[in-house]
Structure 1
Amino acid sequence: MEKFDTVVVGAGQAGIATSEHLRAQGIDHLVLERGRIAERWRSERWDSLVANGPAWHDRFPNMTFACDRDSFPDKESVARYFEDYSRMIEAPVRTGVSVERARPFVDQPGFVLETSQGTIEARHLVCATGPFQKPAIPPIVPQTADVAQMHSTAYRNPGDLADGAVLVIGGGSSGSQIAAELNDAGRKVFFSIGPHDRPPRRYRGRDNVWWLGVLGIWNLDTPAPGTEHVTIAVSGAHGGKTVDFRRIADRGITLLGMSSGYEKGTLQIADDLKKNLDAGDANMLGLLESADAYVARTGIDLPEEPEAWKIPSDPDCVTNPIRSLNLAENDIRTIIWATGFQFDYGWLQADTLDDQGRPIHQRGVSAVPGLYFVGLPWQSRRGSSFIWGVWHDAKFIVDQIAIQKSYLAYRPATL
């Protein structure tokens, strides 16, 4: 049986960051990855995906991207970045290894991991599988319906889909980018949108991520009530543009409210489209107001941008919303569910998950001795699940491992 002080499960951004800090502390460790480094960026995203944050911001502190600092790296560039980073820090990553079960020992500290390549023992276990684990598809349209259905993780490009119209469900970053791409490719697109935040891509010459930083929003440590899982519509596609659903509709996309039910080939649509759009506008305008107040308070010289405050008039699909949509009559042959993810810790046999399968933790530290998490949404702050944020959370977790090791190394002075 192989033995390590610490085993990290997952070699995406969370696992690589954790490895860097473990090496810096001189802690013997191994990183296990079922696929390749940053596998989800490679094989579970569409072809044209780019990062939602610019290269100068969404990175680790000790390496820049090999592209223009204000551009948005494509998915292959992001994957190469983590591969290059892994080589730079000499991370002990073992790829192509699936962790089938991991459990704490009953009568001694540590964990035993059963993997596809044998059994491993670890004193500490770090779960670094990130927030995007198991695709979530609401049970609205039965799989027996006469329409192809896929999660956004299975979508690649418009040419791979069957002919006909496409229904995209989910108004976050993935849904809005996929819907726009399909529309640009000449497809008829119906786009079902729920509650969302809609920040500006840029304002007064600064990117959204810059404003979130100087306004202290990235470092918020607790989400407002009811906002833990709010969908955020922001995009780096085509150089980065503000997502504006009304302008999307003006380009030919038919907006819908939330999909609420299905019966005999017809999708039922909630009467909430106007409310959802107005709430998204309010979110954007609130950020613009905070930005203007910051400029006035600090005297920083940034050009005014009155055009950013203008909200287009409602298109017909908003003023006369569709409440039921017959798929066959509208030639809808594909549904793409851009509806997020669920956690999947079926391999972790430890008393640290709630009744919905979510980790119970404090800043990534579980109640099970020696068990930690990195890469969770809101792990310590709003930015925790982003590339730059996960690096700082990983440092905190590795510091906790080092602290525990120092306690265990203590020996009282002889009398």
Structure 2
Amino acid sequence: MDLDTVIVGGGQAGLALGHHLRRAGVPFAILDAHDRVGAAWRQRWDSLTLFTPRRFSGLPGLPFPGDLDGHPGRDEVADYLARYAAHFALPVRLGCRVTSVRPGAAGGFTVDTSSGTLDARRVVVAAGAFHTPRIPDVARKLAPRVAQVHSSGYRWSGQLPGHDVLVVGGGNTGVQIAAELADDGRRVALAAPTLGPVLPQRWLGRDIFWWFSRSGTMRLSPESRLGRRIAAQNPIIGTDVAGLLRRVDRVGRVVDAEGDHVRFAGGGRRRVDAVVWATGFRPHYPWLEVPVLDPSGAPVQREGVTDWPGLYFLGLPWQRARGSAVLGWVGRDAEVLAARLTGDRRRAPARPAVPA
């Protein structure tokens, strides 16, 4: 075997696991398709800031720098991840796109990449859950003159032409983008048949995540009664939704489109110059040639462990707890998985390391 462990993905989950494996002396490599650590964060919209303050945004072993009660922006997070990888000398192989992970002929896995082929005893998929934009079929009915962008491709209001903009999706991303467009003077319609409960960013003089941390909310399991309730409700954090709804038109579910007009459930109709689809993502692992995905393409796992020996996931929403996909809490899952990997390794022959 070339390596004991290959980590697919050099974002916060992969880096946190790498830190723990480095401390345990496990030979590993982190494979990432981007040209620099943190690049995925730089692809988010320009004004993005985290819900979590800096005191709750660090990975294991390196606190997030700056005002601990302030909220870091997109580029700050990207810079922090790059510093983290450098600080711990993590073996991140940049520009290394994984094209196939399949069972190896002699056990373990064969990993094909844009830089060559590796054999590994274990593979951890830490590529996140936000892969392929989920865009409704009705989008294809809109005329070419209507500008369309998924929230993953939205950068700032100036990239959208015209005055009348429809934002589809009532989650945190949808309401944040709608607010930014309204601030820019656009006439905004928000297609949000349902909105989750609204939580203030601060309560009784403390950031809401301070309360979440103290109350154990971020450690709630997906099987717990309260965990299931929170996951189903998808709370909106920090946005003045009541104020936003005074500045935008709230409309129903999009059911049809023709030309530059969109129809909504209940019979409403609206002309639009642009549409932002804040409609989430679907899982997409075309390179994973191991039978661990369900019919929708999502991984079948429990706390990151699949039924296929040696194959794991890390960083999925609600993988072990409410905080599993949150920057400041993914390190907890990484520590648990690293302990499992270290224990498994003690029960197997040692493998040689390959320099990154």
Structure 1 length-normalised TM: 0.79
Give the match for residue 247 of structure 1. 243
Deviation for aligned residue 1:258? 2.7
| Equivalent-residue separation in structure 2 for 1:341 and 1:229 (angstroms) | 16
| Equivalent-residue separation in structure 2 for 1:267 and 1:144 (angstroms) | 8
Q: 1:143 to 1:128 in 2, by over 3 A?
A: farther
Deviation for aligned residue 1:176? 1.3
Larger CA Rg, structure 1 vs 2: 1
For the residue of structure 2 that corresponds to 1:71, the secondary structure is coil
| Equivalent-residue separation in structure 1 for 2:141 and 2:124 (angstroms) | 36
Deviation for aligned residue 1:102? 0.7
**Residues 171 and 231 of structure 1 are in contact (CA less than 8 Å); yes or no, is this contact kept in structure 2?**
no
Answering whether residue 259 of structure 2 is matched by residue 260 of structure 1, we say: no
Give the match for residue 74 of structure 1. 73
Give the match for residue 213 of structure 1. 213
Deviation for aligned residue 1:230? 4.3
Percent identity between the two aligned chains: 36
| Equivalent-residue separation in structure 1 for 2:321 and 2:209 (angstroms) | 14
Give the match for residue 104 of structure 1. 103
| Equivalent-residue separation in structure 2 for 1:119 and 1:375 (angstroms) | 25
Deviation for aligned residue 1:198? 1.9
Out of 132, 135, 139, the residue aligned to residue 134 of structure 1 is 132
- For these two proteins, the number of residue pairs brought into alignment is 344
Deviation for aligned residue 1:139? 1.9
Answering whether residue 283 of structure 2 is matched by residue 353 of structure 1, we say: no
Give the match for residue 171 of structure 1. 170
Q: 1:187 to 1:264 in 2, by over 3 A?
A: closer
Answering whether residue 37 of structure 2 is matched by residue 37 of structure 1, we say: yes
**Which residues in structure 2 correspond to 1:1-400 (within 5 Å)?**
3-35=2-34, 36-43=36-43, 45-106=44-105, 108-142=106-140, 144-146=142-144, 147-195=146-194, 196-222=196-222, 224=225, 228=231, 230-234=233-237, 242-250=238-246, 252-263=247-258, 265-270=260-265, 323-327=267-271, 332-400=272-340
| Equivalent-residue separation in structure 2 for 1:264 and 1:324 (angstroms) | 15
**Residues 143 and 149 of structure 1 are in contact (CA less than 8 Å); yes or no, is this contact kept in structure 2?**
no
For the residue of structure 1 that corresponds to 2:319, the secondary structure is coil
Deviation for aligned residue 1:257? 2.6
Question: Alpha carbon RMSD of aligned pairs, Å?
Answer: 1.9
For the residue of structure 1 that corresponds to 2:347, the secondary structure is helix
Deviation for aligned residue 1:171? 1.6
For the residue of structure 2 that corresponds to 1:262, the secondary structure is strand
**Residues 183 and 253 of structure 1 are in contact (CA less than 8 Å); yes or no, is this contact kept in structure 2?**
yes
| Equivalent-residue separation in structure 1 for 2:243 and 2:293 (angstroms) | 42
| Equivalent-residue separation in structure 1 for 2:270 and 2:193 (angstroms) | 20
For the residue of structure 1 that corresponds to 2:121, the secondary structure is strand
**Residues 41 and 75 of structure 1 are in contact (CA less than 8 Å); yes or no, is this contact kept in structure 2?**
yes
**Residues 142 and 257 of structure 2 are in contact (CA less than 8 Å); yes or no, is this contact kept in structure 1?**
no
Q: Could you tell which deviates more after superposition, 254-263 or 190-199?
A: 254-263
| Equivalent-residue separation in structure 1 for 2:141 and 2:288 (angstroms) | 29
Deviation for aligned residue 1:226? 7.3
Deviation for aligned residue 1:245? 2.4
Q: 1:72 to 1:227 in 2, by over 3 A?
A: closer
**Residues 142 and 258 of structure 2 are in contact (CA less than 8 Å); yes or no, is this contact kept in structure 1?**
no
| Equivalent-residue separation in structure 2 for 1:143 and 1:116 (angstroms) | 37
Deviation for aligned residue 1:165? 1.2
